[in-house]
A and B are shown apart, each in its own frame.
Chain A
Amino acid sequence: MERPRWAPADLDLDRPSVARVYDYYLGGSHNFAVDREFAQQVMQAMPNVPQLARENRAFLRRAVRTLCQEGVDQFVDLGSGIPTVGNVHEVAQEINPEARVVYVDWDPVAVAHGQAILAGNDQTAVIGADLREPDAIFADPRLNELIDPSRRTAVLLIAVLHFVPDEQKPAQLIARIAGLLAPGSAIAISHASPQGQQSQLGRAATLYRQTASPVTMRSQHEIVELFGDLDLVEPGVVPAPLWRPDAPDELDPDAAAYPGFAGVGRTR
């Protein structure tokens, strides 16, 4: 049975949290022993996880910079996790100090943390919500205070859609989000994929079953399909490090085998 909206979400600090584990991969200390133990297990199965996390974060940075340079100044980060270093508002406001960012996550600790560290920053907001309910999110007054949906907006779904299983129809979700945005808006997605590291990723995915967020891996083709009717910007859906790298000449030789894809689609 669905939990009614007014009933409280579970807060279980004895289970690892995806947001805090991700923070740990990125070298943060916004985590507890249970998160670190879990992260260590995943890293045993797949030693390069921290590197993958860094590449995801780097893609986020490049995507936000690119969009900001194109003049987008409204950002909604769905599944934002613990805002650690190199957050969206930091990257965006470096280019455009007027840029506004709304962080959305369903992890109550991540939300409380974000609200604490961003208290007093009136160009950002942190909302506790389920990214699978975009209508509720875009109706939230805290979002509407910062984001004008009639103007171009960038929605970020970074390393989060692999937590949405097929039966919850992620493609429909993205189409619904796109429908809420003005023409010329952008949706940036990065997504884990089994390419190259089938067995390691498989073991890691199994581990994630003990979190509140089991993992669904998708192929490059399936990830392209998630974009639906959106127009993919160059270079399309590619391994995350290959998406508009800062220094193409210094790319890791293994970058093309990176087990995750990224892309940016534009609404018509």
Chain B
Amino acid sequence: MSPPSAQQVARLWTRAVAETSYIAIGRRALAARLTSRVSEVLAMLTADQELTAPARAIGAALVSSHFTDTAALTGTLRALGDELTPYARSLGREDRLRRLLAELAGGYAEALRHRTLGEQERIHTAALTARAEAEQARWDSEARFQAVFAEAAIGIGIGGLDGQIMEVNRALCEMLGYSLDQMRGLSASDFMHPSDDPEVWSRLAGLVSGEYDYFRTQKAYYRRDGEEIWTELVVSLIRAQDGSPRFAVGMVEDITERHRLLTELGHQATHDPLTELPNRTVFFERLTAALADPQPDVRVGVCYLDLDGFKMVNDTLGHDAGDQLLRAVAARLDERLAGPGRLVARMGGDEFVVLVESSPGPHELAAVAREALEVVREPVQVDGHLVTVSASIGVVDRPVHGTTAAELMKAADTTLYWAKSDGRDRWALFDQDRHAQAVGRYRLSAQMPQALDDDQFFLDYQPLVRLEDGALSGVEALVRWQHPELGLLGPDKFVEMAEHSGLIVRLGRWVLREACRQAGRWRVEHPDWQPLISVNLSPRQVAEHTLVDEVAEILAETGMQPGSLQLELTESALMATKGEPLSTLHRLTDLGVRIAIDDFGTGYSNLAYLSNLPIHALKLAGPFVSALRRPVGPGAADIEILTTLVRLAHTLKLTVTAEEVETAGQAALLAGLDCDLAQGWHFGVPCSAGEISRLLRLT
């Protein structure tokens, strides 16, 4: 028979082996390669030369092509055997084919064994190399670690899971004052410290059990010599390769100095350096915390305390004495009043505060305030002097709900002011009505400048009558405020505020000018009436440098005779007139203006000054006049006083005006005593300028 097609045999061979192993060539390339192998086999089959070597080479070539799975050999033997046996038989060379295939198998096995051993050797060598490299790297790493460990400025300790210390570095030994051997005998628990956060030990337990890998904390240690150090401590867990906990590593940084500074700063930030009491920061923190109490019925109370006349102690005994006094008072307040739920703090200067958290109510707070007053009243030994001071206290008690710290302290401040203005050495309880009035006054005060611009002020005039003949000899100008919301306001409602705010200067100037203008109008209406126009001057106006010039200007501007203008000052305003203001009075007098003392007899009437001051008139205060209308008739003493006063005034060439004359009887008596002028309901209530004109027309 003719030889089989090499291509045909190779195709079957390819199919038998292609999927057995990974080879680096495509199927077509494989088929081509096997075709040439089949041709070689066919040649070997027919030739007579030695076939061992070439047949083994074909087997070995399979292995070189990476037919490493023995299924490839099975497939090869089967494909070649099946396809070539009939042809070999026809040649009578079946034996030769069998030998050929046997040698091929032998060659394959030998090559595979060779390849396998070679690859095994290479991979083992690679493993050894890799291990050696890893070991070298580990050794390097360990050397690096050793260097870091030994020379680190930070303390490092390694402990077992039982807390036993295994290894520590020099820095840690030095930090804690132990030798290396001493440290190795110790356990983490030997370094417990009373100030340890209980968390630290539970976290260490959690770390050791593998719950977490790391924690950081600040911790104090006792050194071997008993000294305390503070550290920043980081503890990390070292796990074995399977993840189970093996060691704990602690890294310890000495932060004693930083800790001390922070503690000191913390103390400084919360304490007053002079008295060592908690400062206002702490007070406001505690107050804010107390106000945040979510329970609805809780109240909080504050006693706001200010020493009375402390400035005088400072001014007379010196600041050192003042400081000693503050320290003594602070210490006593703290000792007697501070306690659970009660904080004594210094707010600054000579101000202290007692915070009562969970206040049972105003009653309890009043007791606290009374005790505080007593504490302050106790004499204090200062530089050999026994100093006695008092305090004024504003007391506020509020439910925490709906109260803010700012609001509460504003109320306390207001209340303290009340205690001061009510006469000091006392406490006042915050009162909503009084507060509302104060707020109202404040609002009124704020409205006054605009009201002046808007002409809301006007003047009424009260008749001044000559007692001798009942003639209308003048008027006192009285200011009124037609308030757009509050209606008509008398001077008692706003003059004091204006004096306080300083607006009195503008208002007073307006009153003076308006009164003088009105006098001008009357002059036109009644040319033969020469009234005295009396206008009030406030202490503050008298103190103004420009007063004299202004008066002169107004006189010139309105054509007013200076002698027809009378300026009224109260006794207290006069008493305060020393130096500059006194010269002001002299210069006013020089202008020809008359000066009257208003409400004479209500202050400490110092008769001595009457002869020295440039004054022209006295206006007797109401009480002298009302004494004349007792139900049982005027007493002899009252008459005598009046008689003496009038006589004295006349001796000094002063005119005398009686105020608040309400009855004809009083008028008659005063006339009998030679009193010059009078005013009061009996002669006419304050009325408009038009009303005065009408009166004039009647007479």
Contacts and interface: CB of A to CB of B under 8 A. Distances in A.
Interface string B575-601: 000000000000000000000000000
Contact of A29 (B115, B129, B134): B115
A116 B126 contact: yes
A90 B24 contact: yes
Contacts of B125: 112-113, 116
Given A7-B141, A29-B119, A85 B66 contact: yes
Contacts of B69: 27
Nearest to A113: B126
Given A8-B134, A27-B22, A20 B123 contact: yes
Contacts of A109: 123, 126-127, 130
B298 interface: no
A30 B134 contact: no
B116 A29 contact: yes
Given A8-B137, A85-B23, A109-B127, A246 B28 contact: yes
B213 interface: yes
Interface stretch (A53-61, A156-164, A200-208, A217-225): A53-61
B26 A246 contact: yes
B27 interface: yes
A133 to B, nearest CB: 17
Contacts of A110: 126
B544 interface: no
Contacts, number: 103
Contacts of B126: 30, 109-110, 112-113, 116
Interface string A26-47: 1111111000000000000000
B22 A13 contact: no
B23 A108 contact: no
A30 B66 contact: no
A20 B27 CA distance: 26
A82 B126 CA distance: 10
Contact of B133 (A28, A31, A61, A108): A108
A30 B241 CA distance: 25
Contacts of B23: 85-86
A108 B129 CA distance: 9
A116 B24 contact: no
B247 to A, nearest CB: 14
A10 interface: yes
Contact of B66 (A12, A27, A32, A113): A27
B144 interface: yes
B311 interface: no
A157 to B, nearest CB: 19
A29 B121 CA distance: 9
A244 to B, nearest CB: 11
Interface string B109-131: 00000011001101101110111
A247 interface: yes
Q: Which of B22, B119, B144 has the most CB of A within 10 A?
A: B22
B454 to A, nearest CB: 75
A100 to B, nearest CB: 19
Q: How large is the interface on B (under 10, 10 to 19, 20 to 34, 35 or more residues)?
A: 35 or more
Contacts of A233: none
Interface in A75-124: 82, 84-86, 90-91, 108-113, 115-117
Contact of B130 (A11, A85, A86): A11
Q: Which of A20, A61, A82, A109 has the most CB of B within 10 A?
A: A109
Contact of B120 (A29, A50, A86): A29
A9 B24 contact: no
A250 interface: yes
A156 to B, nearest CB: 15
A18 to B, nearest CB: 14
A9 B134 contact: yes
Nearest to A8: B137
Nearest to B138: A8
Nearest to A4: B141
A53 B22 contact: yes
Given A246-B27, A250-B27, A32 B123 contact: yes
A247 B138 contact: no
B21 interface: yes
A50 B141 CA distance: 40
A129 to B, nearest CB: 14
Contacts of A32: 123, 127
A21 to B, nearest CB: 12
A110 B115 CA distance: 18
B197 interface: no
A84 B21 CA distance: 13
Contacts of B241: 10, 12
B19 interface: yes
Contacts of A10: 134, 241
Given A29-B123, A30-B119, A112 B130 contact: yes
Interface in B66-81: 66-69
A32 B213 CA distance: 35
Given A13-B127, A29-B116, A57 B122 contact: no
A11 B122 contact: no
Nearest to B115: A29
Contact of A108 (B115, B130, B144): B130
A84 B133 CA distance: 22
A85 B123 contact: no
Contact of B123 (A30, A58, A108, A115): A30
Contacts of A27: 21-22, 66-69
Contacts of B24: 61, 85-86, 90-91
A112 B133 contact: yes
A8 B141 contact: yes
Given A27-B69, A108-B133, 17 more contacts: A7-B141, A27-B67, A29-B120, A30-B120, A30-B123, A30-B126, A54-B19, A57-B22, A85-B24, A85-B66, A86-B22, A86-B23, A109-B126, A109-B130, A110-B126, A112-B129, A113-B126
28 contacts: A8-B137, A8-B141, A9-B134, A13-B131, A27-B22, A27-B66, A27-B68, A28-B119, A29-B68, A29-B116, A29-B119, A30-B119, A51-B19, A53-B22, A54-B21, A54-B22, A58-B26, A85-B23, A86-B66, A91-B24, A108-B133, A109-B126, A111-B130, A112-B127, A112-B133, A116-B126, A117-B122, A246-B28
